């Protein structure tokens, strides 16, 4: 059936979900090289950074409280879940991580100033993540049965529903918020956005008399970001500083 085909494709996308967004890099650079005047306005770029921050906050709020055993990071294993999390961010939207991803995608796409590009990416995002969500929900429905289906009947998939939700539902339970765990899990994604914004700024201003890459501020911004990334990578791979007891499965 068609639904089975969509779920199979969703499983494929799920395994490679960390790499498919790279498809956006070439067109984003191309559009940045010929960006409209709107994209060069500081207020527009501030809005793009705000969107990126919103996406990061949504993902951080989700991951910072998530109990162990509810999310698998190993793309080779596909779907992994030992427990069902229906509280915190999952009390207002079923796929908060994918919602956060959307805002982070849009931050990069809109920095080009091309609204038509943003519309195309939004449609592609819907088709891409809809298939991943279908595969994920089929897996969770089989594993957790009626409890999972009752939850999906009251919580929307991608648009948060704050109205009508009881505080006991959207208040996180179990693990306290852990910034260390968020940094350990999310620093790669955060710096991917940061480096993307910095790179697109260089492309967007390349035709100006003083391109961004030829300014001290841009170079300091890039150097600081690289050093911060390498430092956090060192902490994760060579030390136990970012280790949080009880979160091993979700690392």
- Of the candidates 162, 251, 211, the one whose C-alpha atom is nearest the C-alpha of residue 35 is 211
Number of domains observed in the structure of the chain? 1
The residue behind tokens 């949504």 is 58
Specify if 246 maps to a domain.
no
Q: How many CB atoms lie within 10 A of CB 41?
A: 12
Specify if 193 maps to a domain.
no
Specify if 97 maps to a domain.
yes
Q: What is the pTM of this model?
A: 0.86
pLDDT of residue 83: 74
Q: DSSP string spanning 61-90?
A: HHHHHPPTTS----TTT----SS---SGGG
- 165: pLDDT strictly greater than 70: no
Specify if 217 maps to a domain.
no
Is 86 in contact with 49 (CB distance < 8 Å)? Answer: no
Q: How many CB atoms lie within 10 A of CB 120?
A: 13
Region 208-231: mean pLDDT is: 94
Specify if 36 maps to a domain.
yes
Which range marks the domain in which residue 58 is found? Answer: 2-176
CA 101 to mean position of chain CA atoms: 3
Q: Which pLDDT tens digit goes with each residue over 109-143?
A: 999 999 999 999 999 998 888 888 888 888 888 88
Specify if 198 maps to a domain.
no
Backbone angles phi, psi at 71, to 5 degrees: -150, 130
Specify if 32 maps to a domain.
yes
Specify if 145 maps to a domain.
yes
What is the rounded CA–CA span in Å between residue 10 and residue 20?
12
The CATH number covering residue 167 comes to 1.20.120.1630
């Amino acid at each position: 059936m068609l639904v089975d085909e969509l779920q199979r494709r969703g499983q494929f996308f799920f395994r490679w979900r960390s790499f498919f967004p790279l498809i956006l890099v070439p067109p984003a650079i191309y559009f940045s090289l010929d960006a409209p005047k709107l994209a060069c306005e500081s207020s527009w770029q501030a809005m793009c950074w705000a969107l990126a921050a919103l996406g990061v906050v949504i993902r951080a709020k989700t991951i910072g409280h998530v109990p162990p055993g509810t999310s698998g990071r190993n793309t080779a294993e596909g779907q992994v879940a030992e427990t069902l999390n229906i509280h915190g961010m999952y009390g207002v939207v079923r796929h908060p991580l994918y919602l956060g991803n959307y805002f982070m995608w849009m931050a990069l796409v809109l920095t080009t100033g091309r609204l038509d590009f943003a519309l195309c990416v939004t449609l592609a995002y819907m088709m891409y993540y809809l298939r991943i969500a279908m595969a994920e929900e089929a897996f969770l429905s089989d594993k957790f049965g009626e409890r999972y289906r009752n939850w999906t009947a009251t919580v929307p998939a991608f648009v948060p529903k704050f109205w009508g939700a009881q505080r006991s539902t959207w208040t996180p339970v179990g693990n306290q918020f852990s910034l260390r765990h968020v940094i350990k899990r999310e620093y790669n994604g955060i710096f991917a956005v940061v480096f993307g914004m910095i790179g697109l700024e260089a492309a967007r201003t390349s035709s100006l008399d003083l391109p961004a890459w030829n300014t001290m501020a841009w170079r300091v911004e890039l150097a600081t970001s690289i050093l911060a990334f390498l430092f956090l990578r060192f902490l994760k791979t060579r030390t136990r500083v970012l280790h949080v007891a009880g979160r091993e499965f979700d690392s």
